[in-house]
Amino acid sequence: MSESKVILITGANSGVGYATAETIVCQPGYHVILACRDIEKGNQARFKLEATNIKGTLSVLQLDVEDDTSISKAVNLVSEQFGRVDVFISNAGTTSPGSTGRERLQKIFSTNVFGAMLVTEAFIPLLLQSSRPYLIQISSALGSVGLATDPSSEHSLPPWDEYRMSKAALNMMTIQMNKRLKDKNVRVFAFCPGLVRSKLRGDSEAAVTAQGNAGDPMDSAKAILEIVSGQRDEDAGKFVWIEGCYPW
Ligand SMILES: NC(=O)c1ccc[n+]([C@@H]2O[C@H](COP(=O)([O-])OP(=O)(O)OC[C@H]3O[C@@H](n4cnc5c(N)ncnc54)[C@H](OP(=O)(O)O)[C@@H]3O)[C@@H](O)[C@H]2O)c1
């Protein structure tokens, strides 16, 4: 059993997941499991992180949230190696750039909703082995029904329909999981990282930077570290962002 806190991050090789891994592993007392669908990308992320000033430890885990066999193998490995997960960060997500119609809907829901739900459910028994468990679903303000229906909100503007729908479903899932898990001592959060640089919207410079509007994923990661280190406990059960809470 690891004495460090065991943090598992899905989609940890890139963007918000990578920044979160870096921020947490640069603190002492954490073991970060980089859970990645492509083990090579996971290993590259690990080498890059180990070349920085890390104070914790790292491992890489093959985990495709759309593949049930991959999920069950990953659960078994973590169970054997650590016997628990202290913080589960369900971060893997997509906007399925370049696709359209049914294919786009299927891909976005397969990753952001079905994948997030099934991988989280599979790891909940290991979370319940922790003395202080946290479950963080990486959502988006674009999934907030409250903001989408508020004409004064910048988040009510039209695009990204399929992605918004997937994050609204993820939020409902988080609400339901919180009802079930809060009495078992699990602090459950939906978290919006804000508009930040990543390949979520595609690989071009314009897509990565959201036409120059995207911020630094390290700022999102610092807020996730605040959650993990207990500084946002009063917001457990809520939809949080860096500076406060959003309506569901
Ligand atoms: N960036 C933003 O502005 C923003 C804003 C709000 C919310 N978010 C949310 O933040 C989360 C992270 O996104 P990001 O911006 O960091 O984008 P990103 O750089 O594209 O990272 C997404 C990660 O998810 C992984 N992934 C995709 N499908 C997967 C699957 N089936 N199984 C396992 N991993 C999978 C990707 O792996 P590969 O590298 O193998 O593709 C990648 O590691 C997402 O949930 C996203 O919706 C981002």
According to DSSP, the residues that pair with 60 across neighbouring strands are: 34
What are the pLDDT digits (tens) for 51-86? 999 999 999 999 999 999 999 999 999 999 999 999
Residue from 14, 164, 211, 240 whose mutation best tests the ligand 1 pocket (most atoms within 8 A of CB): 14
Distance of CA 94 from the midpoint of ligand 1 (Å): 5
| Separation of alpha carbons 56 and 5, rounded Å | 9
Ligand 1 nearest-atom number relative to CA 15: 16
Q: Find the 184 Cα to ligand 1 centroid distance in Å.
A: 29
Taking 60 as the threshold, does the pLDDT of residue 1 lie above it? no
Four-residue CA torsion sign, 142, 143, 147, 151: positive
Q: How far is the CA of 201 from the centre of ligand 1 (A)?
A: 9
Query: Angle 222-166-206 (CA atoms, 0-180°, nearest 5)?
Result: 60
**For the CA of 16, the nearest atom of ligand 1:** 16
- Per-residue pLDDT of 135-176, as tens digits, reads 999 999 999 999 999 999 999 988 899 999 999 999 999 999
Domains of the chain, by residue range, sit at: 5-246
- Non-local (6+) Cβ contacts of 34 within 8 A are 9, 12, 13, 21, 42, 45, 46, 49, 58, 59, 60, 61
Alpha-carbon gap, residue 39 to 54, rounded angstroms: 21
**Residues 68, 118 contacting (CB under 8 angstroms):** yes
Residue 192 to residues 72, 90, 197, 200, 248, Cα–Cα distance (Å): 27, 12, 14, 14, 11
Interval between CA 200 and ligand 1 midpoint (Å): 6
**Long-range Cβ contacts of 100-109 (<8 Å, 24+ apart):** 104/162, 105/162, 108/162, 108/163, 108/165, 108/166, 109/162, 109/165, 109/166, 109/169
Give the separation between CA 244 and CA 103, rounded to whole angstroms. 35
The C-alpha atoms of residue 242 and residue 219 are separated, in whole angstroms, by 8
* Better-predicted residue by pLDDT, 114 or 156: 114
**Per-residue model confidence as pLDDT tens digits over 14-53:** 999 999 999 999 999 999 999 999 999 999 999 999 999 9
Q: Which residues are catalytic?
A: 163, 167
> What is the predicted pLDDT for the residue at 2?
66
Cβ atoms < 10 Å from Cβ of 7: 26
Q: What is the pLDDT of residue 158?
A: 82
What is the mean pLDDT of the segment spanning 167-191?
A: 98
Q: Report the residue among 41, 88, 95, 198 best suited for mutation to probe ligand 1: largest number of ligand atoms under 8 A from its CB.
A: 198
Class of domain 5-246: alpha beta
Burial of 129 (0-12, 13-18, 19+ CB in 10 A): middle
Ligand 1 atom at shortest distance from the alpha carbon of 139: 7
Mean pLDDT, rounded, of the chain = 97
Residue from 23, 69, 4 nearest 216 by CA: 23
Q: Which atom of ligand 1 is the closest one to the Cα of 19?
A: 16
Sheet holding 30-36: strands in order across?
Answer: 57-62, 30-36, 5-10, 87-90, 134-138, 187-191, 239-241, 244-246
pLDDT of residue 241: 98
